[in-house]
Amino acid sequence: MPRPRILVTRAIFPEVAQRLSEYFDVESNTNDAPWSRDELLHRLQGKDGALTFGLERIDADLLAHCPTLKVCANMTVGYNNFDLTAMTAVGVLGTNAPDVLTETTADFGFALMMATARRVTESEHFLRAGKWTHWHFEMFSGAEVHGSTLGIIGMGRIGQAIARRAAFGFGMPVVYHNRSRLDATVEAECRAHYVDKEELLRTADHVLLVVPYSAASHHTIGAPELALMKPTATLINIARGGIVDDVALAAALRANRIAAAGLDVFEGEPTVHPDLLACSNVVLTPHIASATAGTRRAMAMLAVDNLIGYLVHGKAVTPLNAAELAQ
């Protein structure tokens, strides 16, 4: 019997490629050049599955041109690149990579908040530019972290892991807003209090975004929301580009409407809006919240487990639309 054929759309760890090749015939994008849509369509011809990276739009049009495709396995937890309705309609399974990145991503969210509040990169740029000629009592004074109020929008696994760090490690009162309120036991376990979005924006000293991207969460933070925030507050986005209106944020930062922002994700990334690049009160990182060697390996291996699980054993580990496909 011929082995299933898999496309890996970007470069990947050698041991991950090795494991895939034990089960499948694999075509890989070893030089890591992002493929155009046409190139992706061409390479998907005859493939049973794809290991994807959260970047490739899998929609009705693509699926119509790839009749052999059975499964797309994102190595990311986010899956806004999948049109799950279109995938279900043609019998294609989508999988993502939850859990394995939770603590690592929470570490980064916290680090980005601290770097933003305490002006770490701004002061380093000042030092590297040779501008540090004398000590001054107000030099780079930032916002307090310990004891200040953290507001988390999007209280899934990563949001909860950040809340625990804040409440137990830094003595921060934590408020959160989420589509649905958490169970009382979970709230108590991460010492977080549910509030509506407006109250969160008005009261938090640091607002941290971990909400998944969808049409409903597009521009969760825009000019009206920024206007509600304290002028001393910081805004941290480790969720997805498009959750924040980047142009409105740059305007708010320029006008010192809020104190600072920390951004790991951007609208239209890897391009960053020039208005943001021009602001000194923003810490900018290139979508690295889950980037430790161990975690990225675990994410990729989970995607491989999903491909093996589904195509070899008939059951994926972390499916997104298995129930819908079974109907």
What does the binding site for ligand DGY look like in residue numbers (CB under 6 A)? 54, 76-78, 101, 290
Of 202, 219, 287, 297, which is the active-site residue? 287
Active site residue 287: yes
The residues near 9 (Cβ < 8 Å, ≥ 6 apart) are 29, 35, 40, 43, 50, 51, 52, 53, 55, 56
Q: 52 has which bridge partners?
A: 74
∠ CA 94-95-96, nearest 5°, is: 135
Q: How far is the CB of 73 from ligand DGY (least distance, A)?
A: 13
Radius of gyration of the CA atoms of the chain, in A: 21
CB nearer to ligand DGY: give 66 or 71: 71
Length of the chain: 327
Distance of alpha carbon 139 from the chain centroid = 33
Rounded CA separation 157/126 (Å): 37
Pick the closer one to ligand DGY by CB: 24 or 213: 213
Long-range contacts of 80-84 (CB under 8 A, 24+ apart): 80/54, 80/212, 80/213, 80/214, 80/240, 81/52, 81/54, 81/55, 81/56, 81/57, 82/58, 82/320, 83/57, 83/58, 83/59, 84/320, 84/321, 84/324
Please name which of 108, 259, 159 lies closest in space to residue 175, comparing C-alpha atoms: 159
Least distance to ligand DGY, CB of residue 210, Å: 10
Reduce the DSSP state of residue 94 to 3 states and report it: strand
Q: Is the Cβ of residue 101 or residue 283 nearer to ligand DGY in the bound state?
A: 101
269 or 275, CB closer to ligand DGY?
269
Nearer to ligand DGY, 101 or 229 (CB): 101
Distance CA 200, CA 123 (A): 29
Closest CB 236 distance from ligand DGY, rounded Å = 14
CB of 162 to ligand DGY, least distance (A): 14
Distance CA 162, CA 208 (A): 9
Query: Could you tell me the smallest distance in angstroms from the CB atom of residue 237 to ligand DGY?
Result: 11
Specify the DSSP class assigned to residue 221.
Answer: B
Marked catalytic residue, from 191, 269, 273, 297: 269
Instruction: Give me the residues paired with residue 207 across strands.
Output: 151, 235
Q: Closest CB to ligand DGY among 258 and 320?
A: 320
Identify the H or E element spanning 37: helix 37-44
> Is the Cβ of residue 78 or residue 222 nearer to ligand DGY in the bound state?
78
For the bound state, the minimum distance from the C-beta of residue 136 to ligand DGY, rounded and expressed in Å, comes to 39
Decide if 269 is catalytic. yes
Active site residue 136: no
HEC readout, 44-61: HCCCCEEEECCCCCECHH
Q: Shortest approach of ligand DGY to residue 96 CB, angstroms?
A: 8
**Among the options 10, 118, 119, 240, which is catalytic?**
240
- What residues are annotated to the active site? 240, 269, 287
